[in-house]
Structure 1
Amino acid sequence: MPSQRGSARRRQRGVLLAGIAILLLALVLAAVLASALTRGKKEESLEPLRWQGRGTTRNLREIVLGRCYGYLAERRAELGDKDCLKIWESLKDAFIHKNPCNATTEDYQPLMKLASHPIPCNKENFLTSLSIIYCTLYLISQSLFWSKTNDLVHLYTKSSRRFLTLEDTFLGYMFDGISWCGDPSAPGINYESCPKWSECEGNPGSVFWKMASKMFAEAACGVVQVMLNGSIETGAFRSSSIFGSVEILNLNPDKVSEVQIWLMHDIGGPQSESCSGYSIKKLKNILEERNFKITCEDNYRPVQLLQCVHNPDHPDCSLCTNSTEAP
């Protein structure tokens, strides 16, 4: 009998030890599995968000600083003291490590403040006008707005120093043609893709350029111009464009004496709309309701002649040549 009881106890002890071993093994396996899952989630979180637009411009810091220093070297007397490093840091702080669909105007307020500078907006009237209006821009003669005429309008402002687009200003020059967006994962900047404006309204590019455009329009004074494309079938003026949805609404009738519309047609392209066209009438109605004086000219001659410089042999340019001949 004693031997049987001892054998039973040994069996019980063996079963107990085996159960403990199985339990320990199960705990170890659970810990390994949990660790693997956690590591997998961390690795997954390191993947940047994917969007449809192009990613952050490579060497963004160097490009912004280079443009900043270069611009100041030409216009330091007009702009005063500007800290390019602080400007870069304010841009970086506005988007780094952030979801690019959650950009806000508050994010970019420090940058707008650092890049702005109040000075007279009309050089020609500075000595004759006692009621000179000060603008948050460097010294300009006339503000030139545009929509769907990017290449042409900037070709013109480079040849004529009397006009200035947003992209010719200190703020616009630094950031024209580049892109940027953040990402919650390291390194906080997404170089692979950024949201298109159509993907989400609060993306960095949309918020930045709408703020800059608003500031540019608010600063405009005297006679201002807008260059539109009359070769677009859908209409030269679009209320959904930045000009139509931001700039035109922020022009100040108390500061702007006249809005001149330049409706340009592509050399060799269709003349889809003239100054009497539907979308131009819509633009005129908006401006008239806001008490602006308005003029419109089809193919403003100085710009058309500039088009013909690049297309001298095109039949359309024979009209440009004839129009300059003495009667």
Structure 2
Amino acid sequence: MNTQERMSRLLWRKSILALAVVILASCFGDAEAQRIAKVPSKRYTGPGTTPNLRNIVVGRCYHYMSLYPATGVKDCNRIWQELTDAVFRKDPCNITEEDYQKLAQVTEQTIPCDKSLLWSRTNDLVHRYTKATESFMTLEDTFLGFLFNGLMWCGRTAGPGMNYNACPAWNECANNSRSSFWKMASATFAKASCGTVNVMLNGSTDGAIARKERNSCNSESLLELQQYIEEHNLTYSCIDNYKPVTALQCVENPNHHACNQCSIL
């Protein structure tokens, strides 16, 4: 056997060995994937990830840009990628606001001054108000809030992908996928706000018209807020039972005694 034949056989054997190693590694990879797939996910009490979440988020992205061209051109696929990077292969109860910082960056938006309206426990009423007046912008009206409003999502620790079976409920753990996201989104909205910032709070026991007041402008918590704001050289004002909002409530309760024309004007 000449030298050339020996070299050819040696190279052929090395190729077979390399091929065997690749196949063996592939087999180990398949086995590992199957093992991971069989690891049961922790059961949470909340609903699973919203079906077709990617299509919804990307679709909303393009829709928002068509409604509000001033938003600028956003990379909708990049936004989805940043969401998945924040939650894939992570404990859904151990997602922090910092995990969503890149998502906040790629959805950055300029908020017009004097337009921001924050709210707490007035979800339905505050959005009816902003829709009726078209004078204010809530978090859910921003690009970031619009993309994810009303959606559920969480990843799986056992591998990539979303968990469509169950996610942590809002109060099930402190740092769950959704609560940390909305904390981040709220902070981002507040930082981007300028000029006069308005807040609509629920001051009654159940939020309905003319119910017993739980809080008012003279409540201890609001007086503390006033003091904090004024200590930072900012102006503060508070109005109980803001009449335009009361009038909006009366649209659904026209016969209520509190909706007497004289009482709300």
Distance in 2 between the 1:284 and 1:266 partners? Answer: 25
Work out whether residues 143 and 225 of structure 1, in 8 Å CA contact, stay in contact via their aligned partners in 2: yes
State, as a whole percentage, how many aligned pairs show the same letter.
Answer: 48
Work out whether residues 140 and 162 of structure 1, in 8 Å CA contact, stay in contact via their aligned partners in 2: no
Partner of 1:29: none
Partner of 1:149: 122
Q: Which amino acid aligns with 1:111?
A: L
Q: Is 2:234 the partner of 1:292?
A: yes
Q: Is 2:91 the partner of 1:99?
A: yes
Residues 307 and 315 of structure 1: CA distance in aligned 2, closer, same or farther (over 3 Å):
same
Per-residue CA deviations over 1:127-158 (Å, capped at 9, x if unaligned) read xxxxxxxxxx3445421111111111111111
Distance in 1 between the 2:113 and 2:236 partners? Answer: 21
Distance in 2 between the 1:313 and 1:173 partners? Answer: 35
Partner of 1:113: 105
Q: Which amino acid aligns with 1:102?
A: N
Equivalences for residues 1-327 of structure 1 within 5 A: 42=35, 45-76=38-69, 78-117=70-109, 137-139=110-112, 141-186=114-159, 188-232=161-205, 266-318=208-260, 321-323=261-263
Higher mean displacement: 108-117 or 188-197: 188-197
Secondary structure of the structure 2 residue equivalent to 1:146: strand
Work out whether residues 111 and 192 of structure 2, in 8 Å CA contact, stay in contact via their aligned partners in 1: no
- How does the TM-score come out when normalised to structure 2? 0.80
Secondary structure of the structure 2 residue equivalent to 1:205: helix
Work out whether residues 97 and 189 of structure 1, in 8 Å CA contact, stay in contact via their aligned partners in 2: no
Secondary structure of the structure 2 residue equivalent to 1:90: helix
- How does the TM-score come out when normalised to structure 1? 0.65
Q: Which amino acid aligns with 1:87?
A: I
Per-residue CA deviations over 1:214-261 (Å, capped at 9, x if unaligned) read 11111111111110111038xxxxxxxxxxxxxxxxxxxxxxxxxxxx
**Bigger proportion of residues as strand:** 1
CA deviation after TM superposition for structure 1 residue 106, in Å: 3.8
Residues 42 and 312 of structure 1: CA distance in aligned 2, closer, same or farther (over 3 Å):
same
Distance in 2 between the 1:154 and 1:46 partners? Answer: 43
Work out whether residues 217 and 238 of structure 2, in 8 Å CA contact, stay in contact via their aligned partners in 1: yes
Higher relative contact order (CA 8 A, sep 6+): 2
Distance in 2 between the 1:88 and 1:46 partners? Answer: 26
Per-residue CA deviations over 1:247-293 (Å, capped at 9, x if unaligned) read xxxxxxxxxxxxxxxxxx62142223322123322322332333321
Secondary structure of the structure 2 residue equivalent to 1:298: coil
Higher mean displacement: 173-182 or 104-113: 104-113
Secondary structure of the structure 2 residue equivalent to 1:295: coil
Work out whether residues 140 and 163 of structure 1, in 8 Å CA contact, stay in contact via their aligned partners in 2: no
Work out whether residues 166 and 216 of structure 1, in 8 Å CA contact, stay in contact via their aligned partners in 2: yes
Work out whether residues 46 and 186 of structure 1, in 8 Å CA contact, stay in contact via their aligned partners in 2: no
Partner of 2:5: none
Secondary structure of the structure 2 residue equivalent to 1:232: coil
Q: Count how many residue pairs are aligned between Structure 1 and Structure 2.
A: 234
Higher Cα Rg: structure 1 or 2? 1
Secondary structure of the structure 1 residue equivalent to 2:162: coil
Distance in 2 between the 1:47 and 1:308 partners? Answer: 51
**Bigger proportion of residues as helix:** 2
Per-residue CA deviations over 1:69-123 (Å, capped at 9, x if unaligned) read 11111112x1111111111121122112221122233421221111103xxxxxx
